[in-house]
């Protein structure tokens, strides 16, 4: 018996993007991550406050090149 949906499942119950309320990404990005690169970016962009980091992580944030610095 051939499937009614040859490419996969029934998408009729999946909500459309226009029907979903917008989410605030700042609240999601304000949560600490285990990735040191992302953590540094979030601190530099003001999305993550250093005061909220554990004490042992506050002093070891790597410095990232700014837009004006040349990446070698």
Domain ranges in the chain are 25-63
pLDDT, one tens digit per residue, over 3-52 is 566 777 777 888 999 999 999 998 898 888 888 888 888 888 888 888 88
Confidence of residue 65 (pLDDT cuts 50, 70, 90): low
Q: What is the pLDDT of residue 20?
A: 92
HEC states along 1-35?
Answer: CCCCCCCCCCHHHCCCHHHCCCCCHHHHHCCCCCC
């Amino acid at each position: 018996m051939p499937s009614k949906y040859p490419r996969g499942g029934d998408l009729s119950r999946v909500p459309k993007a226009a029907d979903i309320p917008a989410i605030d990404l700042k609240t999601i990005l304000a949560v600490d991550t285990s990735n040191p690169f992302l953590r540094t970016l979030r601190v530099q962009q003001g999305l993550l406050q250093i005061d909220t980091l554990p004490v042992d992580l506050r002093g070891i944030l790597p410095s990232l090149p700014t837009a004006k610095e040349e990446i070698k």
